[in-house]
A = this chain, B = another copy of it.
Amino acid sequence: MSTSTVHTLGELADLLEVRLVGDPSILITGLATLKSAVPGQLSFLSNPRYSSHLGQCRASAVIVEAEHASACQAAQLISSTPYVTYARASQLFAAARRPASGIHPTAIIASDVHLAAEVSIAAHVVIESGVRIGTGSVIGAGSYIGADSTLGEHCILYPNVTIYQGVAIGNRVVLHSSVVIGADGFGFAFDGRRSVKIAQLGGVKIGDDVEIGAGTTVDRGALDDTIIAHGVKIDNQVQIAHNCIIGEHTIICGCSAIAGSTSIGRYCTIGGGVGVIGHLQIADKVMISAMSLVSQSISEAGIYSSGTGLLESKEWKRNIVRFRQLDDMAKRLRELEKLAQGRLAAPGDSV
């Protein structure tokens, strides 16, 4: 996708606060990978594995660490953290997309809603009574904001987002399409015959600088609130159940599910498709690998996994049969060891 943003290389060096080696008047119209870049584009080297691509790269400039600068034909933006500099540069080339401020005439907004300056409200949006929206926030078409919810400054709701009543959202929060915040937590009391609904009387609190991917759901609390702390980034189709607490700057990859009342620490990375059962405590800086099931609390930072490796199905079936015999195998092994010790061990043996 092309955008119409253009920067000189000199401007980029200033905006990104990095040193330029090369002609500051070169015009940069976009970003591209080392392999696909053409003249007029800026590229970057963050993984040294690709340093051999620098020689052939056709970009007009490359973001690199000082040690790789000499390998470039193009101009260089010298950064000690090229991936972070690339991230910042990408924002400069995306900036043109914000819609104009103003309220579309088809939006239905309750009379007591408080809208701060420079808010943009698209077509067919519905905003209920008591809502407050901060300066510069953008509400995409067809989105719904329930009564008494609050949105901070410079938030972006993409089209067709749903926020239930009583949800408090911080500043610079991004919610992608089909996100649902504040639906009822899944709570029922079984009376021996049927499930009696537990009304979910808590809310949801979302901190600043949180981004939540398309189709993700964050349920409201049963009594207390569900909490997503500052800086948390959540990918698509993640489920956060009622009364979870997700610590600051934690990252949750796509299709993971965190069951009710579980607390996850700060700076954790939850891989894709992970399940975390309810009422657990996960420490700070824990990494969970993809599709693991976390079935007990984790008190130490570290990397954790579950599951079996992928095998050709024929081989997998052979081994899976043995998995069911594992306990039996372990016992038979122990028997043999005892036998070996009794019958075979000779004086001096270390067995």
Contact = CB atoms under 8 A, between A and B. Distances in A.
Copies in the complex: 3
27 contacts: A86-B189, A87-B198, A87-B199, A108-B124, A123-B126, A142-B142, A159-B162, A160-B180, A176-B180, A177-B183, A178-B180, A178-B215, A183-B213, A188-B251, A215-B215, A239-B255, A253-B259, A254-B257, A293-B307, A295-B309, A302-B313, A303-B313, A304-B316, A305-B316, A309-B321, A322-B330, A339-B340
A308 B306 contact: yes
Interface string A121-135: 011101000000000
Given A141-B144, A290-B293, A180 B323 contact: no
Interface in A1-32: 1, 3, 30-32
Given A293-B310, A304-B313, A336-B340, 13 more contacts: A1-B225, A32-B224, A84-B191, A90-B197, A142-B160, A144-B160, A215-B215, A236-B239, A275-B291, A315-B324, A318-B327, A319-B326, A339-B340
Interface of A: 1, 3, 30-33, 36, 81, 83-84, 86-88, 90-91, 93-94, 97, 104, 106, 108, 122-124, 126, 140-142, 144, 146, 148, 158-160, 162, 164-166, 174, 176-178, 180, 183-184, 186-191, 193-203, 209, 211, 213-215, 217, 219-220, 222-225, 231, 233, 235-237, 239, 241, 249, 251, 253-255, 257, 259, 272-273, 275, 277, 289-296, 302-327, 329-330, 332-333, 335-337, 339-340, 343-344, 351
B144 A223 contact: no
A165 B141 CA distance: 13
A309 B323 contact: yes
Contacts of A272: 239, 257, 259, 275, 277
B333 A332 contact: yes
A176 B166 contact: no
Contacts of A316: 304-306
A139 B25 CA distance: 46
Nearest to A204: B1
Given A1-B166, A316-B306, A90 B198 contact: yes
A183 B194 contact: no
